[in-house]
Structure 1
């Protein structure tokens, strides 16, 4: 029986609005891919992102273009030449890894040589709102090990101070999503230290960050929008101290592992992040999380309803999906019967 690739647009309503510097999200729009080969089906998910010129329709069209190659037997490493980095390739890449794991009865962790996913401290995100509203949100997660706070250029100190007063204990990532300029970032150095910030994520625009090469920050700066794949490191390595590895940017787990290897070889700190997504995006990313000093995979926490069997958040500790969900080498029959292979 020949392989069959299917791709579709799925929507997941959010339990509450998610606000960042470039807008508000109320629905997660994803592309879901399945690849069937005989009795085995592998699944993957991608989240097209307008910031990178992506859309649902364009992603579905890109996947359709590689359908003949996938159905003829192309694997994850073949995709590196067949598709550019991005959400479309991520969905296909992860579906192929899941399929291979099920067909071979071995986990993706075994097949790739990475540590198997386990309980992981993952940031809980506080979106942009009034200082009082952000403080109230922070109070609810004050016992978590790590929080991430979204800010923009509108009085970020007031918002961060409100959050810190309500949640003094957790490690802190500050994420302006490219909304600051050089003047504001320089002015924020002392407040960031006073607030006990551990990492600042992409404070300035990725296309206006050249000056960072001569800047010594008081708090490490992490590249997000500025880095997608390993080839980007030559340009950004002297400007940032950390890199955020997102599978929707790298175009799947295959390229994410390559980026992690190359970044570590340069002495850069690793972070892994996600878009607002279902657990089908998070399960593959957990295979990178074990190597990272900072993990931010709370995308499904924002959903009103996730895919069945997905990840679970326990006060900032993310638990892997249930057996058979993705990448653990269980067949569909074994998963249905609760039998581990």
Structure 2
């Protein structure tokens, strides 16, 4: 993987800048361990220069109290620097990892790609090929979760949200409904170590391919030395490279989310270090529109698992965003994000929905 392509700061450049909050209702509430979400608030950043505009979106990290209003406050702290020509490299030390830096970083990638005239994919020497994405099933009764799995017949990768209540029974019901599917589990910190040990063999017997974040962030030291029959993936326990060394001792895989890393720049660096350490990779999302998923799609090209179904959870998405068809997700139109190089696109299985 190539390092980030940096553009020199030009103090005489004429930039424009705006940041604002948007709110998107969900198709149905998302239930995970300890939380129910009915809408998602996001921050959008637009940076203009020389007739081009770069855009980025940040959704924040709810379990670190990283929400839209706070993101806007952080963004305002660097408004003057952005207008003066702040680069992606300079941004990394100007703001901490989180949704604010993610929105800014991804907007700068988009802008730099347009100014460079090649596109993000070409800048990174990454082919934007369609990838298999997970379809997420939130916590519900075993019967309802099985029904949702059966309904998602186009998706060969099913991500199952679980808590401590009857996890094996729920997975067994889903497996019966979808014997063909690859199943991955996201416990969202909902298990104890004792429960993980009790249930891991049964989950392995059901063909579960991975268990994501079984234990609480900051409470997973018992995983050191534990040989799980199902590979374990760090999500909440590894936000960025500063937390990677500990995660390497406890997990087999790292779930990279741009809102956690604070943007595509840090996400690429985290992916490179995790790979060097011999760990598998997953790319995930905090829900969001295609503007959040587009830069994450670049990370997906480096991963064993991709979970980029965020726009499918919303009642609508942005026009010309990622294309979802038969369990696959393809890149956005070049004018949407990361242009100007035209990527290989999937044919949409249904007309695009209207802008929110």
Q: How does 1:1-341 map to 2 (within 5 A)?
A: 2-113=14-125, 115-329=126-340
1-structure distance, mates of 2:118, 2:169:
50
Check whether the contact 1:102–1:330 (CA below 8 A) recurs between aligned residues: no
2-structure distance, mates of 1:327, 1:158:
43
User: Where in structure 1 are there 5+ consecutive unaligned residues?
Assistant: 332-341
TM-score (norm 2): 0.90
CA-CA distance at 1:22 after TM superposition: 2.2
2-structure distance, mates of 1:183, 1:309:
47
The superposition leaves residues 249-291 of structure 1 with CA deviations (integer Å, 9 ceiling, x where unpaired) of 0000000000000000000000000011000000000101011
Aligned-pair Cα RMSD in Å: 1.3
User: Where in structure 2 are there 5+ consecutive unaligned residues?
Assistant: 1-12, 343-356
Question: Which residue of structure 2 lines up, in the alignment, with residue 336 of structure 1?
Answer: none
CA-CA distance at 1:79 after TM superposition: 0.8
CA-CA distance at 1:50 after TM superposition: 2.2
CA-CA distance at 1:231 after TM superposition: 2.3
2-structure distance, mates of 1:249, 1:49:
7
Check whether the contact 1:103–1:329 (CA below 8 A) recurs between aligned residues: no
Check whether the contact 2:60–2:260 (CA below 8 A) recurs between aligned residues: no
Question: Which residue of structure 1 lines up, in the alignment, with residue 347 of structure 2?
Answer: none
Check whether the contact 1:104–1:329 (CA below 8 A) recurs between aligned residues: no
Structure holding more helix per residue: 1
> Would you identify which runs of 4 or more consecutive aligned residues in structure 1 move more than 6 Å?
none
The superposition leaves residues 9-61 of structure 1 with CA deviations (integer Å, 9 ceiling, x where unpaired) of 00111111111112111112110000011311000000022201212111000
CA-CA distance at 1:149 after TM superposition: 0.3
CA-CA distance at 1:330 after TM superposition: 6.1
